[in-house]
Structure 1
């Protein structure tokens, strides 16, 4: 069967199998026993973007000059199928497509995001799992719950090896996770995916660090979060962007990613090959709470991240880039909407939003937001300041919402200096069945 039809068929088979003992659908779950402690669940998410953007100098589309444009694309389409099969056995799977636009390969983008089996040694304190998963380290939004993000997109720099040595942030891993009182923890041993299969693979050795093509050593990840107020769930690795005033949450966290000899570069003599460790450290703070009894709320997230990818490492990011190349050899960013999001150095990031009272416009509410990524990278002479600000309109909370975002990014020359800045406007419509 094509795409997700087999998944829906499996869900119907489970329904017919357990319909004699299952109570009903409850909280979106199909219960499998009398007390509802065993269940399966299916969720759907679709995010569509309409954008008008100024592209980087020299941008081309299949060889033609393309200085600016308007495009439509599917930023994310996801199906989650998960369930508590016994008191100790949990499974989680996710399927979908990212960044499907007019230049994408057709009928090839639907793939497995997550495939996890988990066993609870102690359902609160310790669970062990394995598979293709986003359980890992560094920070809260290294694994964001994309259906509840505050703005038009998550802070993507925190997905630090996205599609380089992982599959859209998911890694083949063994993990342990749980809660010790108010301390929520996750620890992971991951098997990095071959850099040779990445679109960003460059086999050439230079004085600027890059990922080594040698067989990778295991990667170690961890994230620890102390939850002062309301406790958040940790059944899946994905962290809520904003609760829209439904919880009062105040957390501080710290995390790491470490991989021995992950990077390489040439020494003083070009004949020398030097291997270095990849080290990433982060600390963050999250506050999300109601501010009155009418549904108004505030959300804030702050993060400090240190990246060590080796000397002068830099990597570009262009979310759902609608272009194919660049004719400008003096522009570091490359074509389209790309900018240097990752590099050896330090980043400060914050995002904040204030939600209106419920029923602010009819039975809907709005939430203006702003975010800033401020990065000082070794390779660049000027800091990276990526700005995203806008307004979310909650037609039915996160289930149906429109988000209008304005983005401003720097354009760097190949010497590492800012030459100009470019703008973009994004309108996202989200449908989320959860």
Structure 2
């Protein structure tokens, strides 16, 4: 018994002892080294994002059957745990467990569960479970093959974001194009290869999408507008290629791409990506059922670098163009952690228009840009510094008579970098209604929301 307790104490101290990690932050972390050099290790992380939000609701919004023009809600945007490690020079594993979008109505029957009785004890789930094997490494260049449940994607940088290092308060979710339709919160069962060859970073993969019937909601009825097909299931092909003009980026975990390095690296990238699936969509025309391919592609540039080394100021910016072809007439509303449960003013041909929702996904194109500036270290004394930012999203979808413009302005209080961060954000979004032209939507004003997020990440 004495031997057993001694081993437990030694193991505990090994896990929690300050060991300098090899990631970009060069910070102490919860890590157990498997060899003396620390090149073989197992690491644990935890991230929690708490939201306090005041939302100006869309017209007709109801919350638990009561009409509500404004709502204040408290929620957990993300609560995640990661366990991953380099077991040998060639073998790497990665897992992530957690939950998302948990507020007072997230388990409301008929809201997320299509009328199926549910309860507030929402089960957390595995987001990722991946194994990788490195076939070649020379300096910073490497080639790896992997497989499992993963967010590795071809569409764009923000299709696989590192949520703990986001510069804006939240990611541009439109880039997670099939989220909770034919994937598990943007993750799919995938075999892939990723690597760094000189200045070129790549990831290519073949995914087996989930049937849309397993999304937890009743699939959209077959009609004149394209929706995800329930027949002719096929594989999905992914490819993302990034050219690093200056520094290469952190490649520790599969998929997840850093939001901002806070000036720790000098990064300027250009990228191009594509996601394609044959017969992914279907629609009805007269008595015929027509299938169409889903093709999503993007080109973008990403900048993140120090401005003044002495003051530790830094700039971060992104500009991307996205072609989104889901088939004729596809349009889907989405509201992040929606605070509402229904509407008295439905819009024909789309659902879920209450609360803070807007047309987030559709056939057409999107331009997305963001920029931020990290002020000098110690701006607030020993309480950290600030990083103001802004973003613009323009969704020009076929069924919208006027493009959807979404503006975000905010500021991060970086108490301890991304490990302790308070973010205040204002979002301004469009509101739509049925247009005089059948199957089209026209603008009907704008609404806004204020959100305060407290993030703790270790």
TM-score range, shorter chain: over 0.9
Decide which moves more: 230-239 or 187-196. Answer: 230-239
Going from structure 1 to structure 2, the CA distance change for 1:77 and 1:14 (only over 3 Å counts) comes to: farther
**Aligned residue number for residue 167 of structure 2:** 150
* Structure 1 position 243 matched with structure 2 position 268: no
Whole-angstrom distance in 2 between the partners of 1:348 and 1:19: 48
Going from structure 1 to structure 2, the CA distance change for 1:113 and 1:14 (only over 3 Å counts) comes to: farther
Is the 1:349–1:373 Cα contact (8 Å) retained in structure 2?
yes
Is the 2:375–2:387 Cα contact (8 Å) retained in structure 1?
yes
**Aligned residue number for residue 270 of structure 2:** 252
Q: What SS does the corresponding residue of 1:413 show, helix, strand or coil? A: strand
Q: What SS does the corresponding residue of 2:164 show, helix, strand or coil? A: helix
* Structure 1 position 26 matched with structure 2 position 20: yes
Whole-angstrom distance in 2 between the partners of 1:299 and 1:19: 36
Decide which moves more: 24-33 or 114-123. Answer: 24-33
Deviation at 1:25, TM superposition (A): 3.3
Identify which of 208, 211, 216 aligns with 2:233: 216
Q: Which runs of structure 2 are paired with 1:340-419 in the superposition (5 Å)?
A: 340-363=359-382, 364-415=384-435, 416-419=441-444
* Structure 1 position 191 matched with structure 2 position 185: no
**Aligned residue number for residue 60 of structure 2:** 58
Deviations 1:39-81 (A, max 9, x none): 0000000000000011111111121112111100000001000
Whole-angstrom distance in 1 between the partners of 2:90 and 2:134: 5
Whole-angstrom distance in 2 between the partners of 1:62 and 1:273: 37
Is the 2:106–2:337 Cα contact (8 Å) retained in structure 1?
no
Q: Which runs of structure 2 are paired with 1:274-353 in the superposition (5 Å)?
A: 274-292=290-308, 293-330=310-347, 334-353=353-372
Deviation at 1:199, TM superposition (A): 4.2
Q: What SS does the corresponding residue of 1:125 show, helix, strand or coil? A: strand
Whole-angstrom distance in 1 between the partners of 2:374 and 2:17: 37
Deviation at 1:24, TM superposition (A): 7.2
Question: What RMSD over aligned residues (CA atoms) do the two structures have, in Å?
Answer: 2.0
**Aligned residue number for residue 204 of structure 1:** 221
* Structure 1 position 100 matched with structure 2 position 102: yes
Whole-angstrom distance in 2 between the partners of 1:382 and 1:62: 31
Whole-angstrom distance in 2 between the partners of 1:375 and 1:405: 20
Deviation at 1:288, TM superposition (A): 0.6
Q: What SS does the corresponding residue of 1:417 show, helix, strand or coil? A: strand
Whole-angstrom distance in 2 between the partners of 1:397 and 1:246: 11
Whole-angstrom distance in 2 between the partners of 1:162 and 1:261: 18
Going from structure 1 to structure 2, the CA distance change for 1:385 and 1:203 (only over 3 Å counts) comes to: closer
Deviations 1:97-129 (A, max 9, x none): 100101133222311000001111114331110
> Any stretches of 5+ residues in structure 1 without a counterpart?
1-11
Going from structure 1 to structure 2, the CA distance change for 1:240 and 1:248 (only over 3 Å counts) comes to: same
Is the 1:164–1:200 Cα contact (8 Å) retained in structure 2?
no
Would you say how many aligned residue pairs link Structure 1 and Structure 2? 419
Identify which of 72, 80, 94 aligns with 1:70: 72
TM-score by length of 1: 0.93
Is the 1:259–1:278 Cα contact (8 Å) retained in structure 2?
yes
> Any stretches of 5+ residues in structure 2 without a counterpart?
1-6, 22-28, 108-119, 436-440
Is the 1:194–1:215 Cα contact (8 Å) retained in structure 2?
no
Is the 1:100–1:109 Cα contact (8 Å) retained in structure 2?
no
Deviation at 1:19, TM superposition (A): 6.1
TM-score by length of 2: 0.88
Is the 1:15–1:30 Cα contact (8 Å) retained in structure 2?
no
